[in-house]
Chain A
């Protein structure tokens, strides 16, 4: 018999929610610390899901079921992680900018960020600049992740960045951007710290940005 951590890893890749829950319980009973289960199994499993996605072997549905399975495990671990004061990898506020209601891509990014061990504050869609500023000031998020699907709304990414700058809080937060009409050149041009073209890349970008903080 393999150990529960191996089972958890495989069950996440296969998107088997029930098996993940069972095996996480089992691992806890065996005395494996919650932080270890998270950092050595759940997060690496989701990282592999991201790799498979980038290679074109996994697609959005496989990523979604894997994320659901991972969340089932995380749900059991969360109270224990709080108890043992396990730090997350960082706190990220994510949202689709003002005027834009598209959230499929944004939701996938949120899923992969959680899968990478971040605490994610999902601000939803049509998020005004003021709301992004508020989470920086009040919730002290490490990273803001903004998305836009339309050429007509991507200007609001720029506007939000300007307002953050004007508020004098730009140095408190890293900003990453993404969405269909955006390019890396655009992201650099507007002074964003990071850009990602898909959900898996977004998780990697966030990890990179945290290492620079």
Chain B
């Protein structure tokens, strides 16, 4: 097959058709580099840093675009702008802790970015929900220059454009930050009425962020991200029945709203963990793409996922970062990529990416091998 543009390649992939080769991604959710790895790659390729930082979830990274050009990946990401009070900390340099518009504290603890403070940790009543100073999603500064950037990338490049998640996380993720993990989990078991009232209000606010974002980038993107971590290493974090009874309708609501505004856009869910038991309901809620596929966990074996859900879901991720990319050699990486592509790439519907963010213990040669081999081994027909 003749070589396709990255945009066409991704277009076919997300519509479950085989393109010229499996697309490769870097820069999306669970698809990031550490600051050190970015520097390592920057020194290796010798490209010029744009000096711009982008908001990815709750922290910021350097602008990856010059690096992505060097690596030859297929997607470019668009990011909602942070508000003026947000500090775009460079993790390697002097870190300034601050409290954001949600009341969450951004700190660097032992070298790791931490989001703390649990500003709604004392939530007891519906009144507490009402009186909380929720952020205004519709602040114009959130989309400053964004439409022009999206338009430019759309018209003057051939990349596939993706809307990086415009929120730290969706309602479950944000509940964990705002209420604290233990309180959130306890509320699901003990105080469902309060939990639903909270979830409802939170979803309204978060939907506003998606509205704002899509107003600017909707016509140009092919994929938009959502992010919820619903799983542990061993299984669901809470009863899947609770997902269906409570959370499902909120996800569906958000997705319907996205698709109403941008009907051509596919919705990706970033969700870590062993989440197989949630998948039928996630499909039912309207998610089109699942990331990051922690392939070594129980129930997350890619071949099984493809057989059972491949008709409805596109998979993005799966290349083991815990063992293979950190400790393997080039042959191990080739084998891992080949296996993942064989398992998930048939008939399209697979985007090559790691099973989670690249951590500091991934050596430079392995990083480079991942992108080089990904392009070599992903050529269709498989």
Interface residue ranges, A against B (CB under 8 Å): 15, 56, 59-62, 64-65, 68, 98-101, 104-105, 107, 126, 150-152, 180-181, 197-198
Contact = CB atoms under 8 A, between A and B. Distances in A.
A62 B361 contact: no
B238 A60 contact: yes
Contacts of B238: 59-61
B185 A60 contact: yes
Contacts of A152: 359-361
Given A61-B238, A151-B359, A197-B234, A101 B109 contact: yes
B233 A99 contact: no
B239 A101 contact: no
A15 B190 contact: yes
A197 to B, nearest CB: 6
B111 interface: yes
B281 to A, nearest CB: 15
B237 to A, nearest CB: 6
A1 B202 CA distance: 46
Nearest to A15: B189
B361 A151 contact: yes
A167 B181 CA distance: 37
Contacts of A100: 110, 112
A198 B236 CA distance: 13
B17 interface: no
A99 B236 contact: no
Given A64-B189, A101-B109, A150-B359, A197 B233 contact: yes
Contact of A59 (B233, B239, B360): B239
A151 B234 CA distance: 18
B234 A59 contact: no
Given A59-B239, A151-B326, A152-B361, 9 more contacts: A15-B190, A61-B238, A61-B242, A68-B186, A107-B182, A152-B359, A152-B360, A181-B322, A198-B232
Contact of B322 (A64, A151, A198): A151
A101 B115 CA distance: 11
Contacts of B326: 151
Nearest to A99: B110
A180 B233 contact: yes
Interface string B59-75: 00000000000000000
B34 to A, nearest CB: 9
Interface in B186-202: 186, 188-190
A59 B238 CA distance: 5
Given A56-B235, A59-B237, A104-B181, A98 B188 contact: no
Task: Rank and list the top 5 A-B pairs by shortest CB-CB distance, nearest first.
Answer: A61-B189, A61-B185, A65-B189, A59-B238, A99-B110
A25 B268 CA distance: 52
Interface string B256-290: 00000000000000000000010000000000000
Contacts of B361: 151-152
B296 to A, nearest CB: 9
Contact of A126 (B109, B182, B190): B109
Contacts of B322: 151, 181
17 contacts: A59-B237, A59-B238, A60-B185, A60-B232, A61-B242, A62-B189, A62-B239, A64-B186, A64-B189, A65-B189, A98-B110, A100-B112, A101-B114, A107-B182, A150-B359, A151-B359, A152-B361
Interface in B174-190: 181-182, 185-186, 188-190
A61 B236 CA distance: 11
Contacts of A60: 185, 232, 237-238
Contacts of B359: 150-152
A126 B359 CA distance: 19
Contacts of A56: 235, 277
B33 to A, nearest CB: 14
A109 B70 CA distance: 45
A197 B232 CA distance: 11
Which of A100, A104, A105: most chain B CB closer than 10 A? A104
Nearest to B241: A59
Contacts of B242: 61
Nearest to A66: B189
Given A56-B235, A151-B326, A126 B110 contact: yes
Which of A68, A107, A151, A197: most chain B CB closer than 10 A? A151
Interface in B221-247: 232-239, 242
Contacts of B190: 15, 65
A197 B359 CA distance: 22
Contacts of A65: 186, 189-190
Interface in B103-122: 109-112, 114
Contacts of A98: 110
Contacts of A181: 322
